[in-house]
Amino acid sequence: MPFSLFDLSGRRALVTGSSQGIGFALAAGLAAHGAEVVLNGRDRVKLDAAVRQLADAGATVSASDFDVTDAEAVKRGVDAIEAGIGPIDILINNAGMQFRTPLEDFPADRWEQLLKTNISSVFYVGQAVARHMIGRGRGKIVNIASVQSELARPGIAPYTATKGAVKNLTRGMATDWAKYGLQINALAPGYFRTPLNQALVDSVEFSAWLEKRTPAGRWGDVEELVGAAVFLSGKASSFVNGHTLYVDGGITTSL
């Protein structure tokens, strides 16, 4: 059946940073296509609320609250999921943060925090999960990149650096792990209405600029990322590896 290419039944997905925003939308989307989902975040209250919301919608869902910026905590958390919940078939590396200020004033501690949250976490969780996937000879890893993997804007140079690194780490993961039956790709959102972007959403000036700059003429809705995530998580992408898929209303294609 053609739709089996997008059927995630019998698969288990770990989604980092999934108590809200893009991570929550992706977890909900994977669950709607049949996957069991494991939510991850550091705020247990928000995480439990997200679990209840998905469970009420009929999803098979659980939570794991390890810190993705701590390599040892990641290993313990991933091993605990594998032993106590079941094999991780799909990993969505979504955890991330943003901090905006002119580059000449950018605090060193914020630089270090961005590196740990946006790129070290992708390495730590990706490696911990891949070690289990390699033994099974299959697995899907989707790293969340950004239009800032290609483009820059004033005040976010360190964020741009981290998302460029996510794109190239994705290529490296595919180069090393494709031979074991894994597919590792990146999903790169454009400008979406999320808590991370709330200050920009609330800015009349920025929203007007964005609508003019984006060929589609609007902000994206997080549900519009689900199709791409399901594609990269299922059978349909069995020979797609090291690719970055931009879901951005055309902003990276047009001046």
DSSP secondary structure letters along 162-174: HHHHHHHHHHHHH
Check if 159 is active-site. yes
74 pLDDT more than 80? yes
Task: Dump pLDDT digits (tens) for 107-146.
Answer: 999 999 999 999 999 999 999 999 999 999 999 999 999 9
The tens digit of pLDDT for each residue in 84-112 reads: 999 999 999 999 999 999 999 999 999 99
Is the confidence at residue 22, as pLDDT, over 90?
Answer: yes
pLDDT digits (tens, 9 = 90+) for 160-181: 999 999 999 999 999 999 999 9
The answer on pLDDT for 195 being more than 90 is: no
Mean pLDDT of 15-44: 97
**16 has a pLDDT exceeding 80:** yes
At 2 the pLDDT is: 53
Which domains are assigned to the chain? 2-247 (3.40.50.720)
The catalytic residue among 159, 180, 191, 246 is: 159
